[in-house]
Amino acid sequence: MATLLRADPTFYASPRLAAQAPPETLAYVIIVNPGDGPDGLATIDADRNSKTYGTVLNTLTTPNAGDELHHFGWNACSSSLCPYAAHPHVERRYLLAPGIRSSRIYVIDTKPDPRAPRIVKTIEAQEIANKAGYSRPHTSHCGPDGIYVSALGSPSGDGPGGIFIIDHDSFDVRGRWELDRGPQYLAYDFWWHLGYDTMISSEWGTPNLIENGVNPEILLKGGYGHQLHIWNLPKRRHQQVIDLGAEQQMVLELRPAHDPSKAYGFVGVVTSLKDLSASVWTWYQDGNTWKVKKTIEIPAEPANPDDLPPLLKGFKAVPPLVTDINLSLDDKYLYVSCWGTGEFLQYDVSDPFAPKKTGSVHLGGIVRRAAHPNSGPLTGGPQMVEVSRDGKRIYVSNGLYKAWDDQFYPAGLKGWVAKLDVGDKGGFELDRKFFVQSEQRFHQVHLEGGDASSDSYCFA
């Protein structure tokens, strides 16, 4: 891997400087094959001045079938500018795309042609198992000293899940991150407060709990994840458990404040066993401990059982199913995807303990199947959400996880990616010129040069 004599120009010391960067011209989107074939990576034209704006410019197809590519991320980013960074001159050049089924990770080079990335290395499942003792890699984040990757479990499909480190330069697996995991067993997402030497991690389930779809018996017993874990980041040691209660099932996406001087963030909860509502909670530091408070609750919507998949018929309601959230770089707007009802929401979180709803749109949904201006009825709903560095553009895609897609949308799920433009005073509207559909499924979106969920910063 190339080493630069100067820091990569897409690294920014602070979120404020990142927000002043030029707008993205390309969006990279994970493609998941709904059948047994290989997955891939689509490059979409995001340059509003281009004649091919809003179309797929290139599709990279992986050489193996059955990977189920999921979350992916950059090899390096703005955290490399931290004073203690071990690799201050690496380049934001490679995307790491893990297969949540195969446990294989593809290293994808976006140069020399950013429109046509290519695979330059494959990290096999056996290397991850041998060096870290993990399988089913899920989320990667570029840290100041390496690439951090969460894993859902062990090679057997049980727990514990955790985090392992990949070298910035060689892309070799270094090993397991945790020195002392304490009571942590389930894993999912993780993020950090670099200014507070603190990592936060969340919980979904082991591979054996999730790979065949939602298990109603496990769900109703509160058997999926419902805790947050607080870690000492430099010492790699577990410090504290925050239990949201077994009623709160599947504590997933974490979005810490981008301002490194702030010690708070947001986490989404997929569903409540009490009433099928979904929620967003704010975590925060209080003295020497960390606490959490529910700050957004989104109710389930009554529905005719005839319109519901078998899993939900007995409930006579469609749950919101909050599967992703994202926070603008200025920490002002929080975006919430309700994959079940098809609603996409914007909240002003200038006060992180009193969010105010400022925008809403519907796309798809289990019952509603709301159309885009350029489509007929849609399946799926807003799922993964990405925010541009300046906070003016939002990208949403609708694929979740194949086994779960098929449970909640049994008639089939056709992939789509949509874009919304944010108003100067909040709110948003759909971009009628940007809507991509495919028989394949689209999962996560990342943007050329970085976005709201790619980077962490060491300076305010």
Residue labelled with tokens 């996880």: 401
Q: 450 — alpha (psi -120 to 50), left (phi > 0) or beta?
A: left
Q: What whole-number distance in Å separates Cα of residue 274 and Cα of residue 23? A: 43
Strands 38-45 and 56-65, sheet pairing: antiparallel
Question: DSSP E strands: which ranges in 56-161?
Answer: 56-65, 73-74, 94-98, 105-109, 118-123, 135-143, 146-153
- CATH architecture of the domain with range 15-447: 7 Propeller (2.130)
**Do 188 and 163 form a contact (C-beta atoms < 8 A)?**
no
Q: For the chain, what are the domain ranges?
A: 15-447
Mean pLDDT of successive 10-residue stretches along the chain, which has 460 residues: 73 97 98 96 98 98 98 96 84 97 98 97 98 98 96 98 95 98 98 97 98 95 98 98 98 98 98 98 97 98 97 96 98 98 98 98 98 96 98 98 97 97 97 97 97 97
Per-residue model confidence (pLDDT) at position 2: 53
Amino acid at 263: A
- The C-alpha angle 76, 77, 79, rounded to 5 degrees, equals 110
Amino acid at 203: E
Question: DSSP E strands: which ranges in 237-327?
Answer: 237-243, 248-256, 264-272, 278-286, 289-298, 301-302, 317-318, 322-327
Q: What whole-number distance in Å separates Cα of residue 265 and Cα of residue 293? A: 11
Q: Which two tokens stand for residue 181?
A: 């995991």
Per-residue model confidence (pLDDT) at position 7: 82
